[in-house]
Amino acid sequence: MKVTRKEFLKILGSAAATIFCPFSIDHVWARKKARCDKSIKGHVFKGGAPKELWKYSKEAYFYASAEGTVQCLTCPHECELDPGDRSICRSKVNIGGKLYSIAYGNPCAAHVDPIEKKPLFHFYPKTWIFSLAEAGCNFRCLNCQNWEISQSRPEDVEYMELFPDEVIYHTKKMGLRSIAYTYSEPVSYYEYMHDIAKLAHQEGIKNVMVSNGFINKEPLLELCKYLDGASVNLKSFSDRLYQCLNGGRLEPVLRTFKILKEQGVWFEIVNLVVPTYTDDPDMVKRMCDWILRELGPDHPLHFLRFFPQYKLTMLPPTPVSVLEEFREIALKEGIWYVYIGNVPGHPGTNTYCHNCKKLLIKREGYYIPEINIVNGRCKFCGEKIPGRWM
């Protein structure tokens, strides 16, 4: 069955705004499946799952097993699953005493985006990136923007068949230099991301993870062998808020930042400012102090404007004045590059040299009319600018 561009965008409208359908879709799309009690190669999922999902399964890379029970070791939830049980992220299932991912080769979103959309402002600006997503997430954020896919099971959304070698083929065919694992939470489809990243690395294609950073140390270290960039959402600087707003914990995310730094992976920090939850100036100061002490001043910090979504529709959008206040706090604390996001046209989206303060990159939405960085240095004063440049 062919899918037109219009139909493709309608089906995947739950993902963030798209630029265009990246390739002619010759694959067969699988329609949304109703719950059933069919077995998969003799094993039964509790709650039911389509028989054909076996085709999109992969034995998990990080888990422990004993007497039929398995424990997933990919993220800090470390779900313990009896036969047929499913993990918090909805993507891992205990089948016959082994842990399988059923989010493998069946992405629910495949688009081409500007790299700035991730957001990554210091990572090969003005380039395009092939963006992929599978259904599922290991968080339960009340403000999720892509909840239609992140809070769904792989079999409950429209998906297409696209295995790792096909991802590489289409990336090269489109002349793209990088792949992003994004929209939902890539940690929930770790095996798919890992295998694509490994092949991409061999082909000289860059890999970018857009993540909540809630991942265990060993899986992250393995992934860092192939990872070039990351946009990680530091949702707050309070463990209590992480638990009530996101269904996670703070410390594992802080550890992720440290590991990315140690492994030489370029990353940028994202903080969504949610009114009445994360709009506390004192908490922002503590967060900035930690960033400076543990990571240094050179990794960009993005303060994003919140808009009412999902289960927080009763809240107002973040006042721009609050974002401006937080940007000033971070700059005064000593972070070199601090941005305001989701406010198109705001001067806080531009990049200014941390040394001479002159304009380095001008941004008008995702359009970039001016870049004054030459060989990774400020065109005006010659200062080295942190990031990854052409």
* 22 contacts 170 by C-beta, under 8 angstroms: yes
The per-residue pLDDT for 54 is 72
* Alpha carbons 290 and 349: distance in angstroms, whole number: 23
Give residues with Cβ within 8 angstroms of 309, minimum separation 6: 143, 144, 145, 147
Q: Which of 332, 349, 366 is the last residue of a domain?
A: 349
The per-residue pLDDT for 51 is 55
Q: Among the residues of the chain, which ranges form H helices?
A: 5-11, 147-150, 164-173, 190-202, 217-224, 239-241, 250-262, 281-294, 320-333
Q: Does 34 reside within a domain?
A: no
The per-residue pLDDT for 279 is 97
Q: Does 74 reside within a domain?
A: yes
Strand pairing of 266-273 and 229-233? parallel
Amino acid at 372: N
Domain containing 260 equals: 109-349
* Alpha carbons 365 and 346: distance in angstroms, whole number: 9
The per-residue pLDDT for 52 is 62
Q: Among 272, 284, 287, which Cα is nearest to 146's?
A: 272
53 and 160 fall within a common domain: no
82 and 207 fall within a common domain: no
Q: For 265-296, b where at least 16 C-beta lie within 10 A, e where not — what string?
A: bbbbbbbbbbeebbbbeebbbebbeebeeebe
The per-residue pLDDT for 35 is 24
Q: Does 23 reside within a domain?
A: no
> Can you give the C-alpha Rg of the chain in angstroms?
21
- Structure-token match 């070199």, residue found: 336
The per-residue pLDDT for 384 is 98
* Alpha carbons 70 and 67: distance in angstroms, whole number: 8
pTM to 2 decimals? Answer: 0.88
Number of structural domains in the chain: 2
Q: Does 220 reside within a domain?
A: yes
* Alpha carbons 208 and 275: distance in angstroms, whole number: 29
pLDDT < 50 regions, the chain = 1-49
88 and 216 fall within a common domain: no
Q: What angle do CA 27, 12, 6 make, to 5 degrees?
A: 75
